[in-house]
Chain A
């Protein structure tokens, strides 16, 4: 019997949800079910991870731990060894703390987890798991249990090609696609969400898991490309025909999403507690900061030499820094990291600064970054510069960038070798905002409660509490008791007890990656054209 329904809405933000749950002239209420749900339930802004990004943020939701502890910081993981830099991809084996699926499973609770990132290769759970971010050709072999794929094939309209990530398409999230491309991009995500909904509906109905969790990621993707048609502040009073079509397409997506949410909540029944959360919010980015160009101008970074070969072009276009590794002292690895890595020599003679000079070097770098200002207003382009020991404490702090940058428009940096350093965008685009959403509804949830802000690490303890499980003592967040009615809390007090298992304790099959395997993955990435 399902106790808890968790609906993930990647990138959902109150800026949009409040608009779409309002009765707008000529439009009406786009998300009528969510409107009722929000009115009857509890809500709060949800503060994301210091770099509000999908992998670290969803893993914090899944583990109740911050990135310094769970170990996931970006899509891309990089390693440096004796002057050689290797780029690879984060996967589930890199998560160093226990997930709520595992915590529930070992207490004889069943769980279904659909479309959450960094869940492949899958660990066994007491229930079903379909990972997100996996190409359709490999989805079947990455499901838990192995026979799940054959069950799903019995569904009407089941189409793995629609369901799974198309990497070529998804990497266009931050590209300028033009009018036709943007329209096609948005339209592409409509049937995908329907696929995930039908699977969630099927497993909820057939298996009645104690915890039913599904993530809809189209919200994030559409907002990246179509933010101008969703942010109320950017809507034009007299839109062109294209702009009208785009607005209607976006509204259609959210109308359909509303019916999916309604379908799942209705099917779960009145006794189930329902939670919805996003990994981060959204806002407008109005300029591009070419951070590696700035670091080059300041003498920290030296570009790699390129030529006209296909290889060089492909390397230059990749989302991995293309710098001279013998001379560069500080650089940004990936646009999504918004971080600067300082190269510290591991041995005398290695590239990088001597370890003893780290603090003074970093202080100088911070001053240089602070000096980057808007020439007209004097306003700093980089409003916050986060030292990793302050924002990513934990066993895996060393995997974080030395400095994480918060830009004045919350944008992601560019790592391209282009000038000028700061370039205004022709039209504002969507980017991640630190404040996502956290909603609750159903039996035992306080009605009409609004808390200003909760933390992303509060989601996991809330879900475990809702399932009737104790919150592990080593969780960093807490259950927002204001979300629950006083009667519910009296009848069912929050219990804090026990510890999470280390990942190897919970699943002996998941081993540390050996050095040889790391090398192997690097080679695989070379095959993909991701690195030199």
Chain B
């Protein structure tokens, strides 16, 4: 039962992160034409730059009405910055952090 609730919660988070990204990228003139979903990557699909990740973090904190989410745990692995992030990576991280 616990696992089922967790899955539902993560699905909800995926949905809300996708909504944030859809709103954010609404007028970005991107080549990406598919639907933003769990498997969408920020850099390779949505052409994110570093400053966009900064803004995404702020937008996600706004969406979940919570500040101080330890995003560094998501952005850095073994002391190195990750090369890219998927919506699923973000949702799983949020599911564990919120």
Seen from chain A, the residues whose Cβ lies within 8 Å of a Cβ on chain B are 121, 135, 137-138, 140-141, 160, 167, 511, 513-517, 519-520, 522-524, 526-529
List of B residues within 8 angstroms of A529 by Cβ: 50
A-B pair count, CB < 8 Å, reads 62
CB contact between A141 and one of B23, B57, B72 (< 8 Å): that residue: B23
Q: Helix, strand, loop or mixed for chain A's interface?
A: helix
Closest-CB distance, A73 to chain B (whole angstroms): 21
Contacting pair A516 B51 (CB below 8 A): no
CB contact between A523 and one of B23, B58, B72 (< 8 Å): that residue: B72
Contacting pair B51 A167 (CB below 8 A): yes
Q: Which of B10-18, B32-40, B62-70, B87-95 contacts A (4 or more CB under 8 A)?
A: B62-70
Contacting pair A515 B71 (CB below 8 A): no
| Contact (A520, B57) CB under 8 Å given A514-B68, A527-B75 | yes
Chain A to chain B contacts (Cβ below 8 Å), 11 pairs = A135-B51, A137-B52, A138-B24, A138-B55, A160-B27, A167-B51, A516-B67, A520-B68, A520-B72, A526-B81, A527-B54
Closest-CB distance, B70 to chain A (whole angstroms): 6
CA A501 to CA B53, docked complex, whole Å: 33
Using CB atoms, name the residue of chain A closest to B54: A524
Give the number of chain B interface residues (Cβ < 8 Å). 23
CA A515 to CA B57, docked complex, whole Å: 16
Contacting pair B58 A121 (CB below 8 A): yes
CA A18 to CA B17, docked complex, whole Å: 54
Using CB atoms, name the residue of chain A closest to B72: A523
Closest-CB distance, A141 to chain B (whole angstroms): 7
Contacting pair A137 B28 (CB below 8 A): yes
CA A410 to CA B26, docked complex, whole Å: 45
List of A residues within 8 angstroms of B51 by Cβ: 135, 138, 167, 528
List of B residues within 8 angstroms of A524 by Cβ: 50, 53-54, 57, 71, 75
CA A160 to CA B24, docked complex, whole Å: 14
Using CB atoms, name the residue of chain B closest to A93: B67
Using CB atoms, name the residue of chain B closest to A520: B71
Closest-CB distance, B68 to chain A (whole angstroms): 3
CB contact between A520 and one of B26, B52, B70 (< 8 Å): that residue: B70
Closest-CB distance, B52 to chain A (whole angstroms): 6
CB contact between A513 and one of B27, B50, B67, B69 (< 8 Å): that residue: B67
Closest-CB distance, A197 to chain B (whole angstroms): 22
List of A residues within 8 angstroms of B70 by Cβ: 516, 519-520
